[in-house]
Structure 1
Amino acid sequence: MINKHVERANRVITVLFYLGSTLLFILLILSGSINHFPINKFYWLSANTSNIPGAPYDISRWTFWGLCAEKNDKNVCSNYLSPAYPISPKDNFDTTTNLPPSFVSNRSTYFYLTRFDFVFFWLGLIFTGVNTILYIFTFCSYSFTKVVWFLQILASVFTISAVCMQTAAVAMAKNAFKNYGDDVSIGPALMGISWAILFLTICLFFMTGGTFIKKGYKHHQNYVEMSKYKEDALKYQQYMNSTKPINTDNASNPTDPYSLPSTYDEGYQQQNAEKQQQQQPVDIIQKSAGVIQQNPKSSVKFFHFKKTKKIPHNDDGSV
């Protein structure tokens, strides 16, 4: 009973984690695409770029979809948006003037880290979203459990990689701007969402993995039991084919080679015992009749008639 309650609680928690993770993925991916609350509060990095020639804004904010301006502590996104927009000022502003040296010397690191994490976030969302739907079907089929476990592995790999790469790139960019003397800050909301996604993904990895292993073990147990039953049934059939017909009259004799084997089930033995009880009176009568016919003098006599000799008499009464 306790195991059932635990299993139900695990299912409910897993469904909630999947829904929460999918929702957080959507919020993250909408960053930079909508200028409305609360999406306009989400950004990876905010830095003062007023002294960089080619920078379109005095304060630039890097979001999931690109570069946005800052107004009243809110994102204002318009023209500088594109898929896989990197956090790389050298590529964003097409200049090296007044750029922190790290963005020039390590340009490839910033560029590829932040471009690949765009793809990995999308893949993480796809696999997580599909699992959110498929997990419901795991309640009735072990095959869906296998699929969910496989997709969760892929979702975990891409999500963990995306969050780690984005965190590394943002931390390096912040240090580069800070060391150069520019005002810079990390977007707490978007970074918090990304790490919340990472936490939920790791939890789902172990939860779905535990369910997969548990159901797999039960499935293996059932398979072993069924194999044993089939083997016992085959042995019983071979035994029945190799033995002669059973003589029920001698079933009670333990030395009789044709007596009922102990492998018979209890129901069959009870049925055979009732048959023997019904047959016993008939056998006794038949055996008693046979004995009387063979030796009629040995039968019990309840009445004894004595034979006497008839003596003739004369008419006068003399003998």
Structure 2
Amino acid sequence: MARLQTYLAPISLLFLAGSLVMLWFIILSALTTTTPLNKTYFLSADTSGITGARSVTQWAYFYICGEGNVGCNKAAPAPPLGWAWSANPSGAPSQLVGTHGGDTTSFYYYYMWRFGWVFYLIALVLSVLAFFAGFIACCGRLGSAIAGTAAASALFFHTIATSLMTAVFVKMRNAFIADGRSASLGRWAFGFSWGSWAALLIATVLFCMGIRGSGDRYSGGGGGRRWGRRQRSVRSRRSYDMNGSTNGRRVKEDYA
């Protein structure tokens, strides 16, 4: 078990690094036309005939783009999903249009994606903190506890972010399909999101194992066995002394 503990922190760091890389791919999607950023988007839908919209629209993290993540709008934090078309458009699915985002987006889609967008950033910041704390985990139980706490916090916000993203864009896809338009989820963005979440979960579990496992050498390891022998030897001396004193009293009584 002691030998296993030597590798727990480095393995945790590897999974955490993988989670961070995939999270960065999501956040930087559509930033350039190189792979995988040009293929990373949450939803691609046929928006032809909608006022002010492209023929095909793809929603990324900072951008709303055309097919192939090109011809994107200017980067904006938590862009309303309805920025793909003009205000009060005609031809757009009615469930998606509302008074938010400059009369482009409904209440549900405006706030659900805005909160999901923010939780992705919080998960990223906490994952970075957990990654640096992971180097301390190589030093012992306290380091594992610090890294495990940071990773668990990141996992909490990552879970919310990924769940909100999935709910928003799956419902949005269904709205386009119900309106007679083709729409598909972005395999790369969903794969990176859930892959990052899974890697972070594994890293968190391994850090927690480091907290528990490092104490084995004091309780069940070699040190524990030595302590057990010492206890048994102390008990043996005590019983010997007690038996010896009892025998001495018996001898005295016989001579008396």
Q: TM-score, normalised by structure 1?
A: 0.62
1 or 2, which has the higher helix percentage?
2
What does 1:32-111 align with in structure 2 at a 5 Å threshold? 32-55=30-53, 57-70=54-67, 74-87=68-81, 89=82, 93-104=86-97, 107-111=106-110
Amino acid at match of 1:102: Q
Separation in structure 2 between the aligned mates of residue 152 and residue 198 of structure 1, nearest angstrom: 11
Amino acid at match of 1:196: G
Separation in structure 2 between the aligned mates of residue 167 and residue 86 of structure 1, nearest angstrom: 16
Change over 3 Å in CA distance of 1:36–1:77 after alignment to 2? farther
Q: Which position in structure 1 is the counterpart of 2:179? A: 180
Amino acid at match of 1:24: M
Structure 2 unaligned runs (5+)? 99-104, 228-246, 249-256
Q: Which position in structure 2 is the counterpart of 1:124? A: 123
Change over 3 Å in CA distance of 1:218–1:110 after alignment to 2? farther
The structure with the largest alpha-carbon Rg is: 1
Paired residues of 1:50 and 1:58 also in contact (CA < 8 A): yes
Number of corresponding residues: 221
Separation in structure 2 between the aligned mates of residue 92 and residue 141 of structure 1, nearest angstrom: 55
Separation in structure 1 between the aligned mates of residue 152 and residue 62 of structure 2, nearest angstrom: 26
Separation in structure 2 between the aligned mates of residue 90 and residue 77 of structure 1, nearest angstrom: 14
Q: Which position in structure 1 is the counterpart of 2:194? A: 195
Offset from partner CA, 1:92-137 (integer Å, 9 cap, x none): 5322421212214792221111111111111111111121121111
Matched residue of 1:47: which SS?
A: strand
Q: Which position in structure 2 is the counterpart of 1:156? A: 155
Matched residue of 1:76: which SS?
A: coil
Change over 3 Å in CA distance of 1:91–1:177 after alignment to 2? same
Amino acid at match of 1:46: S
Deviation at 1:145, TM superposition (A): 2.2
Deviation at 1:42, TM superposition (A): 0.8
Amino acid at match of 1:167: T
Offset from partner CA, 1:237-276 (integer Å, 9 cap, x none): xxxxxxxxxxxxxxxxx96xxxxxxxxxxxxxxxxxxxxx
Which gives a bigger RCO, structure 1 or 2 (Cα 8 Å, sep 6+)?
Answer: 2
Separation in structure 1 between the aligned mates of residue 85 and residue 143 of structure 2, nearest angstrom: 45
Change over 3 Å in CA distance of 1:220–1:82 after alignment to 2? farther
Change over 3 Å in CA distance of 1:123–1:142 after alignment to 2? same
Structure 1 unaligned runs (5+)? 229-253, 256-319
